A and B are shown apart, each in its own frame.
Chain A
Amino acid sequence: MNHPLPPETSDVPLAPGERLPKTQRDKLSPEAVAKIQAIASQFPDRMAGTLPALYIAQKEFGFLSLGAMKEVAAALGVTEGHVFGVATFYTMFRKKPVGRYHFEVCTNLCCALNGAAELLAKVIEKTGARPGEGPSPDGLWSVDEVECLASCGSGPCIQINHGVFDEFVDEAKLEALMDACRRGETAAWGE
């Protein structure tokens, strides 16, 4: 499936003190709202649906804009402040767009001992994206450094969207993986 790139025009994070006009929202699909409500009803307290709901919203929009967070709050019936607080606490909730293939390179100690720094440098060079700076110009790639991915015995490793790929000792492996992404054989973000 050809997944659309994350929307570019969605509202970007606000500067401190800046407020968002009330009307500016990303509309969650009715299916997503239904899913959020079904999940929340499984728990003794609807608030427990916050993390799953944020994942659902993130899947729809590619990242969590303020508008998306407001939608989540409305779907759950919790305050916007709560949702904002949770979304900004956890690193896996993205406040900025990511590329279709989001490379998260573990650079923690075990991976570092086995060459994670070189791997990261290669990923940056080949994708043209830099950690923390959003997607590459073609929208295909983005790169981040992450902490331990629980693949320490087979590091260095990269998580791409929903898959962990390990044992990146040579460049050829990285190239093969990027080719697989280009051919659409690896799930794009949100799939």
Chain B
Amino acid sequence: MAAIRTKPDHQLYTFEGFGSSKYPNLMLRGAGDLHNWHLKVYTEKWEGYEACRKALKMEPAAVTAEVKASDLRGRGGAGFRTGMKWGFMPKDTPERKVTRYLVCNGDEGEPGTFKDRAILEYNPHQLIEGMVIAGWAMQCRTGFIYLRGEFSWLIDKLEAALQEARDAGFLGKDILGTGWDFDILTYRGAGAYICGEETALLNSLEGRRGEPRVKPPFPASVGAFGQPTTVNNVETLAAVAPILRMGGHAYAQLGTPGNTGTRIYGLSGHVKRPGLYELPLGLPMDFILNDLGGGSSTGRKLKAVIPGGSSAPVFDAKDFDCPMDFDTVKARGSMAGSGGMIVMDESTCMVQALLRLTHFYAHESCGQCTPCREGCNWMEMILHRLEHGQGRPGDLELLASLPPRINLRTLCPLGDAACGPVESFLQKFRGEFEYHLEHKTCMVGAKSILPELVAAH
């Protein structure tokens, strides 16, 4: 049990008004409290497993209908409608008896994104409860929680929580006397960002290299171990219990139509109060940045924000008023993605920042598709030249010509993810790139934030 954290963390989880009807506190309940993860606290303080009892009295299809009514959209990045996804799971037919699996994607590896960790650390039972309800709705027998390898320190806690749930009869055989068996196994990845992609995750779960698979077939027909599988993000599954408790329609009142409920935003970078903020969808970005995050931590003006995890195209100051919901952020040229907001002040050199991100994608490319494998490295090399004062004439045009040759030409979205930053940085901060090329030095005079490996290349 060594890995169960015993020291309080400095992470910020609450703010004025948090928990009120305006900013309801559904998923981060008790976050920051080291004892909150116990079943006892969950049931006594947070109506734990009430939603599960309620769901198990309903028909499985009615549970899915409730989630559909909530209009919940997946919180992992793509924003696909969860109820609809559940509905894709095939039923048994006379020709084919299937074993259905539910997989929780806890491979949180996107720079800027650190929300799932808080749920796993402080509210594991809410995730387990959500998985039991989802498992019932889709009539699964087994669930897997796939965690990124670096979360080894969280696995002990999760295992302990699972055991508590088993002992209390919420997991295992004949759950709450319904005759239905369902158990959850944990699985630890080993440090590959690409395993956050659902088919790569399934390969990894089967003990293989985490290389994405060709779709179709989609996991709903051929997923883990060749069987129908639904993969949901940690935060998505953690939202299921509140939905069942409140009722889907009541949940859909939160947020804005089509972008319902609350989600967890992660603030990081040059911001005074970095941390996790659970908010209804649709609040403007500058409210989150300034009113909650306290604005710039350095006293300098903020220059750019990546709104949804490192693969989302960057916003400059004129977009800071953007309402944070899936559709509006997309309409303004970026992605709400995973909700991780990376904040950069005026002193940040955009060439350096982009080089660092591109290094990440080049490093994490699984290597299956040539455009991604070669393209990401190529983009990194060009950026490396620019940053180190060795840019060549035509480099900017060359760099700009690469994303269209990678985008939508690869097996999985990692290639596209690498292009989002390159295209948007070049478009919004072109002046800085030109300055680097022309003057062999940085326009903002920034000192290097680049570590050894990226700097050396």
Within 8 A of B (CB), among A83-140: 85-86, 89-93, 105, 107-110, 112-117, 120, 124, 131-132
**B351 to A: closest C-beta gap in Å:** 13
* Minimum CB distance partner of A132 in chain B: B453
Given contacts A147-B364, A153-B12, are A49 and B150 in contact (CB under 8 A)? no
B205 and A113 contact, CB distance less than 8 A:
no
Whether a CB of chain A sits under 8 angstroms from the CB of B210 is yes
Docked pose: A114 CA to B366 CA in angstroms: 29
Contact string, A14-44, partner B, CB cutoff 8 A, digits 1/0?
A: 0000000000000000000000000000111
Contact string, B352-378, partner A, CB cutoff 8 A, digits 1/0?
A: 010011001001101000000000000
The residue among A49, A82, A113, A115 with the most chain B CB atoms within 10 A of its own CB is: A113
A108 and B10 contact, CB distance less than 8 A:
no
Contact partner of A162 among B2, B269, B451, CB < 8 A?
B2
A86 and B208 contact, CB distance less than 8 A:
yes
Q: Which residues of B contact A114 (CB under 8 A)?
A: 269-270
Given contacts A93-B190, A109-B353, A112-B450, are A51 and B207 in contact (CB under 8 A)? yes
Within 8 A of A (CB), among B212-236: 225, 227
A85 and B209 contact, CB distance less than 8 A:
yes
Within 8 A of A (CB), among B238-272: 266-270
B152 and A113 contact, CB distance less than 8 A:
no
Whether a CB of chain B sits under 8 angstroms from the CB of A149 is yes
* Minimum CB distance partner of B348 in chain A: A113
Q: Which residues of A contact B310 (CB under 8 A)?
A: 108-109, 148
Residues of A within 8 Å of B, CB-based: how many? 55
The residue among B185, B206, B227, B344 with the most chain A CB atoms within 10 A of its own CB is: B206
A164 and B150 contact, CB distance less than 8 A:
yes
Whether a CB of chain B sits under 8 angstroms from the CB of A172 is no
B453 and A131 contact, CB distance less than 8 A:
yes
Given contacts A91-B192, A151-B114, are A110 and B153 in contact (CB under 8 A)? no
B112 and A117 contact, CB distance less than 8 A:
no
B452 and A145 contact, CB distance less than 8 A:
yes
Q: Which residues of A contact B366 (CB under 8 A)?
A: 89
Docked pose: A149 CA to B185 CA in angstroms: 23
Residues of B within 8 Å of A, CB-based: how many? 67
**B347 to A: closest C-beta gap in Å:** 10
B10 and A166 contact, CB distance less than 8 A:
yes
Q: Which residues of B contact A116 (CB under 8 A)?
A: 449, 451
Whether a CB of chain B sits under 8 angstroms from the CB of A61 is no
Whether a CB of chain B sits under 8 angstroms from the CB of A48 is yes
Contact partner of A117 among B208, B276, B344, B449, CB < 8 A?
B449
Q: Which residues of A contact B364 (CB under 8 A)?
A: 147
Given contacts A107-B454, A148-B109, are A86 and B2 in contact (CB under 8 A)? no
Q: Which residues of A pack against B, CB within 8 Å? A: 42-45, 47-52, 54-55, 78, 82, 85-86, 89-93, 105, 107-110, 112-117, 120, 124, 131-132, 145-155, 159, 162-164, 166-167, 187, 191
Query: Can you list 24 contacts pairing A with B, beta carbon distance less than 8 Å?
Result: A48-B187, A48-B206, A48-B207, A51-B188, A89-B210, A90-B192, A91-B191, A93-B190, A107-B451, A109-B342, A109-B356, A110-B111, A110-B112, A112-B353, A116-B449, A117-B450, A131-B453, A146-B150, A147-B360, A148-B310, A152-B268, A155-B268, A163-B153, A167-B10
State the 5 A-B residue pairs at the shortest beta-carbon distance, nearest first.
A50-B207, A90-B190, A92-B191, A107-B451, A152-B268
Q: Known A-B contacts: A112-B353, A167-B10. Give 7 more (CB < 8 A).
A: A47-B208, A51-B188, A82-B208, A105-B451, A113-B270, A153-B11, A153-B12
